[in-house]
Each structure stands twice: as structure tokens, then as C-alpha cells.
Structure 1
């Protein structure tokens, strides 16, 4: 972003699109990759994995399913994820069953849910017969039912969670379904980081919460319920905190409880981050103040496009002042907004002084003698552009 400085004709240096925002990461798998992408775009990242993954080679359930399919080969195999299918083949090789598994799968029809699954199938030496453009399990199911499955043995590679609708529909159509749990999600062994992430969401320390799997969303809500915080968490996700999901399958558990979500058109990690680059700044509050353009982000402001980090106390004051820009806010009300509370109104004066120093433009916040403080809203600026989460694009 490059913004002209009001009244001076100069331009501020470009600011990374996610600078000033704190993004929570709930992912277990590829969390470091996601965090790196976010940080490169200026975000502060807080990680609290909502799940842990059972290692493939240690999964007795996967071994049992693999042996059953080698003993009685499937007529059709459905690969739902690339990493899952590759992991299945690698685990079978580790058990000395790799060649046998490839042989029996090759005798039947192999379907891929999407391009990554197709790539893994071909990398193993097999050939996929069909893949939907939508990358949807529902479209795979429709294809199978349309082709007829009565009497067929169908192996369905799961992707971290059960697919009860697909399994039930196939069974009702006369198929024998073998579920292949290539990797399984379990609650995190240490819930401390997840609890700290939830607490940060509830105290306004997180602006965006990212989800890369439906089980992670369900696990976060379940853990919040155990702590008696589910209602508070839902209120935050329905209000100031954006729930950013990698795709519609991931978003489903949140949408089921009326949490609005943002998601990219393609269910990819990179696409999710690129979508967030657009959606997060669109939720910021813009105000014409004292001849400048003030943009409020999570833990920072932009003054004429220049990034100004602001301490939590200062941001708390600024948000209260921005609710009624141009109007006086009494010291007592500002005092209630300060972290830690207290009853000494001199704490407000100190906090305002530090806020002015942080934003670098003292005239943005005006003192109104014996009454309080206000943002020096430009009277000739016209209607105030609100921005904020209520008008954000990309929400579904």
C-alpha cells in the first residue's frame, strides 16, 4: 500500500499487506510453512495447534485396512488427498507391503478427488481414471453412484476425518466400503498453546484465526467448551475476529454454528494467504483525522500509509475514541478501557501521552479541558468510511 501524505505531496513507503495484524494458526501439519508465509507479509503469528496427527507407520488401523485390501482387492479406490495417498504407499513400503498394495490397487479403478491426489497416484506408478473439476468429495460420490456400485468393493482413503455421508450412500447403493484412515487427528498432547491462543482471541489479541482442516475447527470449539468459553469464543468469531478457512470443507463446522468465514476460491494454502492479504486490510477502520488518514489495524495504525506500532494500552484507547470519532470521550470511560482497570484517571493522561508518541502525530488526539479526549476528525472530510468486519469482502 502506498498512500499520499495529506497536505505534503509525499508518499509513504509500502507497508506489507498484513502488517499490524496478529494471525492465529490452529494447524498441526504445515504450520511452519503457513506461519512463514504470513510473517513475510508482515503479520505477527501466534500458533496453537488444535490437533495432532497419528504417525502413519504407528497406525495399527491403517495396517489392518491395508492387509484387508491386499487379501481382497478393491474394485475401486478413491484417493482424497495427495499427502494422504503418498503416506499410505510409504507406510505400506515400510511394512514390506508396498509392491503388493500397488499391484492390487492397479487391478481396479482409481479415482482422484483433485490434482494433488492425481499427482500422488501417478507418482506411485498407478493411473487415475477420473477426477472432478470441483475437487469435491460430493462430486466423486455422484460419479460413483451414476456409474453403479452394487456389489463392488470400494476403498475410500480418508483425509483426517470420517466421510459418513459418502460411506453411507455407497453402502445403501449396494457397495462394500473399506475405509482407509491414512492419518488420524487426535486432540493435542499439550493443550497449553491452544488455550493461550483462545485466550488471546477472547482478549482482543488476535485479529484473524486461520483453519486448514475441519477437525481443527471442531477441536478448537470442543476445547473451548471444556473450559466454559465456547459462547465467548463464538461471539468473538462472529464479531471482531475473522475466521479464515482454506476451503468450504474446513469452514463447515464453523458455518454450522453461524460463524461467518472467509475462504479462497481454490482450497490451497497459498491461495488462502493471498485472500487474507485482501480481506484483512478491508476490515481496517479508516478515519480522516487532523489532516491525516488514520487506519486502525490490530496492534498498529497506519498514518498516511506509514506503519506505527502501538502498545496494547494505546490501541485500547484508540478503539474507544474511534467508536465516536470527533466526539469527546470522558476520562472515566477511557479508564475502563485500559488493561488492568484501576481508578486513577491520571493513568489515562499517561496512556494518551504514550499513544501520541507512538502514532507520531500529537494532534490526532485532542485534549478537551475538564471533559476528556477526542479524535480530531476533519469536519470537511464528509461521511466517515467505516470499513471494519461488517463490510469485509470474501465473507461467506
Structure 2
């Protein structure tokens, strides 16, 4: 049916690609391309929360950047170092705004161009240039070692920096006799919504989130700093260590701050947003999540309920907390007193636990999944290894 005159037609619904992320609440601590990342996750069933820990502030109108660009046009570099894709593209955009793009392209066309990783190489190619070498580890350390082995003495080296600084490349090359031209194309600014970042770290610590995605090391470091300020960093690390909270990074550099606090993150293989989405989808949809074999099928936890035999069963917050306690016991008995702590305003009334368990059984339609152990409590009806493999 056509929309009434003067009104916009509604956007067509996005195609659903899979149900792999059904029941998953995912925080994306990302500023740039966050809408694109969110849309990709939502097409697999995720509920996405935006909590960028930093913003990228471009320097397109920065006089020093334009002055350095003019200096490179006047005296072309022998070597160009691209550390980030967004930064290299920003440099080209700044040159274009100043009417210098053609001249800059000509000045760079005869230089040796090296990239810190695949995203920087992609930006180089997008600019119509060719990367002569790419650091496989995506680190400034490897890039610096490569150029020192090539020799930089007497060579003019242009270094495009990322928002958090130079990684020591300027000083390294200057100490070895290079003429360095430094280009800072963007810098990191404060989060657009600091309260949203604080809410996201608290929600993660309380088990209300299934995954957090990061695309920059400074962003990951600042999100963890927010968790520390809220007093929940230890809880986040604990949940990640128990497989209850997935921390995912677009590449090994981004993963660094997570590893520094004891988290073993999921790292995308190719350093691309698409690769990051695929890795998360495979993690949740490919049987890599912590699970238990039960009489009703494979059981996995989600922040909004459970996945039972491949089907997402949404539950209340209380129901999810009860299941989390039973799940953590791995089939062992959980006392009524322990389960009572998951109930709001239950006081000392253990009858409330019995009612909550009864409601869970009814919601699941599988009465035998939660077994009553007389005078002791409750347990999940978990299969033994022989039964599970049969």
C-alpha cells in the first residue's frame, strides 16, 4: 500500500540472515561506523546498545596538517608510513579540502609506502596508491623494525599518526638519521555520552550483556577505565573468564588493553568489521559458548534467557538469574537459600523460590529440566558424559 501524500515511505525491514544472536545483548564501544556494525549484528538477531568510549575528532582544518602536506609536496618523501585507515583517508580528505590532493598524490607516487595493517593498506589503495609492504602483526614495532632494516638514514619519512600518538616512530626514525615529517590527522576525544558508557560497564558486570565489541585500542582502554571508575572491572574480568561475557576485538592491537587486565578476547582474523561480525556470529551460533547437555538438549545461557536445543527461550531477569545459578553448578544441587538471593524483595520466604521455579518450568514446557532435590534444593537435569555422547 502506498504511503499517504506528504509522508515518507517506511524503510523496508532488513533481511534476517540467521538467529545465531537471538537473545544476545551486545554493547558496541565504537564511534566510527557504529551504525553499520549494529545493523550487521541485528541481522543475526542481536539487541545492540551503543556506548562509544571515545570519539574521533578530525583535524581536517588543522593548519599544521596542511602546512606539513605542503612541505611534502615541495619536497616529496622517500617513505610514507600509514598507521591507520581512518587517518590516511582523513589526510587525503584534508588535502582535497585544501585543493592539494592532485599535488599530494603526485608527491607520494614515487615513495615507498608501508602500512601498519590491512585497514591502512585498504585506505592506501582507495587513494589510488599502492602499499609496498604491510605489517602482518599490525604493530608499529614490526613496522619500525622493517624500515630500520631497510635503512632510513638520510631519507625523508612521512609518518601519518593515529589518534593516540606516534607510538615512538618519530623518535625512532630520527635517531637513525631520517628526516621525519609528522602528520597527526585525528585525535581521540571524550565519549559522546559518558553516562551511556557507565551504564554499559555496570550492565556487563551484572550479567545483562552477552558481548562487548571494540575496534580501537584507545577505545578499549577507555571502556575498561570506565569499568574501573564504576568499581566493576573485576566483575567484568571474572565474567569474561567464565565465558559468560564475550569480549571481541577487531585486531591484535585493539585486543592489547583487554589482555593487559587478564581478559582473553576473541580477535577477528582479518582486522575488518565484517570479520569481527562473522567471528561473533560463529561464536554464539557455532557451538563455542559454554553449555551443558541436558535431558531437553544443549543448554546455553543468554543475558535475556536461555538457548535450549537451539531455541531461544526469553525469561524474566529473575528467571535468568535462577538459571545462571543452576547452570554454574553444572548439574550439582543449588540450595533454596542460594536461589533466594536471585529473587527481588523475597525476604526470608523460601516459598517464593518454589513459585519462581514453578513459573520457570511452565515457561519452558519441560518440567524435568529442573529437578527438585528433597530437603536440599534444585539442580539441572544434566546428562552424564556417556549419555551426552550417545
TM-score bucket (shorter structure): 0.7 to 0.9
Would you say the 8 A contact 2:251–2:267 is kept in 1?
yes
Summarize deviations over 1:345-374 as a string: whole Å, max 9, x none.
233233223322332222322344554333
Task: Kindly report the root-mean-square deviation, in angstroms, between the aligned alpha carbons of the 2 structures.
Answer: 2.9
| 1:250 corresponds to 2:270 | no
Structure 1 residue 194, shift from structure 2 partner = 0.6
Query: Secondary structure of the equivalent of 1:178?
Result: strand
Query: Secondary structure of the equivalent of 1:358?
Result: helix
Gaps of 5+ in 2: 1-16
Structure 1 residue 216, shift from structure 2 partner = 0.7
Would you say the 8 A contact 1:309–1:359 is kept in 2?
no
Per the normalisation by structure 2, the TM-score is 0.84
| 1:203 corresponds to 2:209 | no
Residue 274 (structure 1) aligns with: 278
Residue 377 (structure 2) aligns with: 372
Structure 1 residue 252, shift from structure 2 partner = 1.1
Would you say the 8 A contact 2:95–2:101 is kept in 1?
yes
Summarize deviations over 1:75-127 as a string: whole Å, max 9, x none.
32112333322221111221233334334333533334455544543443445
Residue 337 (structure 2) aligns with: 332
Structure 1 residue 59, shift from structure 2 partner = 4.2
**Could you tell which deviates more after superposition, 28-37 or 300-309?**
300-309
Would you say the 8 A contact 1:15–1:306 is kept in 2?
no
Summarize deviations over 1:127-162 as a string: whole Å, max 9, x none.
544445565544432331122111222111123332
Structure 1 residue 226, shift from structure 2 partner = 3.3
Residue 105 (structure 1) aligns with: 108
Matched residue pairs, number?
370
**Could you tell which deviates more after superposition, 232-241 or 303-312?**
232-241
Give me the whole-angstrom Cα distance separating, in 1, the residues matched to 2:127 and 2:380.
63
| 1:28 corresponds to 2:31 | yes
Would you say the 8 A contact 2:370–2:378 is kept in 1?
yes
Greater relative CO (CA pairs within 8 A, separation 6+): 1
| 1:284 corresponds to 2:290 | yes
How has the CA–CA distance of structure 1 residues 237 and 71 changed in structure 2, closer, same or farther, with 3 Å as cutoff? Answer: farther
Structure 1 residue 31, shift from structure 2 partner = 1.1
Query: Secondary structure of the equivalent of 1:184?
Result: strand
Give me the whole-angstrom Cα distance separating, in 2, the residues matched to 1:259 and 1:224.
14
Would you say the 8 A contact 1:254–1:260 is kept in 2?
yes
Query: Secondary structure of the equivalent of 2:60?
Result: helix
* Paired residues for 1:50-61 under 5 Å: 50-60=53-63
Residue 77 (structure 1) aligns with: 80
Give me the whole-angstrom Cα distance separating, in 2, the residues matched to 1:305 and 1:107.
56
Per the normalisation by structure 1, the TM-score is 0.82
How has the CA–CA distance of structure 1 residues 367 and 133 changed in structure 2, closer, same or farther, with 3 Å as cutoff? Answer: closer
Give me the whole-angstrom Cα distance separating, in 2, the residues matched to 1:96 and 1:286.
62
Residue 40 (structure 1) aligns with: 43
| 1:261 corresponds to 2:265 | yes
